[in-house]
């Protein structure tokens, strides 16, 4: 009996120490993951401190626009359409000033044009009577959505106005379909356009006047780096093909160091970044 009791006690002690060891290892692993994540966050912020200021600017813009919800007089003037101001800040605010201005203007002009056409389409659809109104609305939505989607395949529109075309399709569809059930269609379009203007203006002001980031400087640095890489490539090309060595049998010996010759690849791959800037 004593032997059995001592064996059980030893088994319990062994299980206790095993569990303790497992918990300790799990804690150490969790702490290591936290430290590793903190180091990554520190590295991202240290590589470009403007990323930190950009995050703060986005938070500030959202906080200011959210005041439309908190103040009853402002919320009473816009109603549920206030959410469009918040969505505008989330979608429009970009890293650089130019990108923010471009997206904001695209969204504003597309919303204005889609709102006017949506109200006009709703007015024309009402002329068809109770039975013809939904048919005409579906026809208008189909025609404008199909034409706008096809226009996105043009290179110029794809490069500059792709986002605006998407907003146009979304707004026109919402205004047209909502107008079938909402009596005050003009007031609805006015509220949405006003809240989008408020959100875009907030983004513009904060992006321009609070630690602005200009894409021209980044473009200049990128071009300088590409020129430097091309220079290294040409130097490596010269050393590889014009200063060649031969072995005893007259065969050409090429250098195993191909790093300078690979610089042109990064230059070619940077075309997308240059176009975005």
For residue range 140-183, what is the model confidence (pLDDT) as tens digits? 889 999 999 999 898 888 878 888 899 899 888 887 777 555 55
Report residue 253's pLDDT band, with 50, 70 and 90 as the boundaries. very low
Residue 120 CA, distance from chain mean position: 33
192: which residues sit within 8 A by CB, 6+ positions away? 81, 84, 111, 115, 171, 175
For residue range 58-70, what is the model confidence (pLDDT) as tens digits? 999 998 888 877 7
Q: What is the average pLDDT across 103-127?
A: 85
Residue 228 pLDDT greater than 80, yes or no:
no
Q: Is the pTM of this model over 0.85?
A: no
Query: Cα separation of 176 and 172, whole Å?
Result: 6
For residue range 26-48, what is the model confidence (pLDDT) as tens digits? 888 888 888 888 888 888 878 87
Residue 118 CA, distance from chain mean position: 28
Cβ count within 10 A of residue 213: 20
Q: What is the average pLDDT across 72-77?
A: 64
SS3 245: strand
């Amino acid at each position: 009996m004593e032997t059995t009791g001592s064996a059980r006690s030893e088994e319990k002690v062994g299980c206790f120490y095993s569990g303790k060891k497992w918990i300790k290892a799990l804690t150490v692993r969790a702490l290591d993951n936290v430290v590793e994540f903190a180091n990554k966050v520190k590295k991202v912020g240290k590589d470009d401190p403007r990323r930190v200021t950009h995050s703060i600017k986005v938070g500030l813009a959202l906080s200011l626009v959210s005041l439309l919800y908190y103040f009853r007089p402002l919320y009473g003037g816009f109603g549920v359409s206030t959410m469009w101001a918040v969505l505008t800040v989330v979608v429009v605010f970009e890293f650089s000033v130019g990108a923010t201005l471009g997206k904001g203007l695209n969204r504003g002009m597309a919303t204005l044009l889609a709102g006017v056409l949506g109200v006009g389409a709703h007015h024309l659809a009402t002329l068809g009577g109770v039975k013809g109104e939904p048919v005409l609305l579906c026809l208008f939505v189909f025609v404008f959505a199909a034409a706008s989607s096809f226009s996105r395949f043009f290179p110029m529109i794809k490069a500059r106005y792709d986002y605006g075309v998407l907003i146009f399709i979304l707004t026109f569809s919402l205004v047209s379909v909502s107008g079938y059930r909402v009596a005050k269609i003009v007031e609805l379009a006015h509220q949405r356009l006003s809240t989008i203007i408020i959100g875009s203006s907030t983004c513009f002001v904060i992006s321009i006047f609070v630690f602005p980031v200009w894409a021209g400087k980044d473009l200049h640095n990128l071009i300088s780096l590409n020129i430097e890489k091309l220079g290294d490539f040409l130097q490596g090309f010269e050393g590889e093909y014009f200063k060649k060595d031969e072995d005893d049998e007259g065969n050409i010996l090429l250098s195993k160091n191909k790093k300078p010759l690979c610089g042109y690849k990064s230059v070619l791959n940077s075309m997308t970044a240059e176009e975005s800037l």
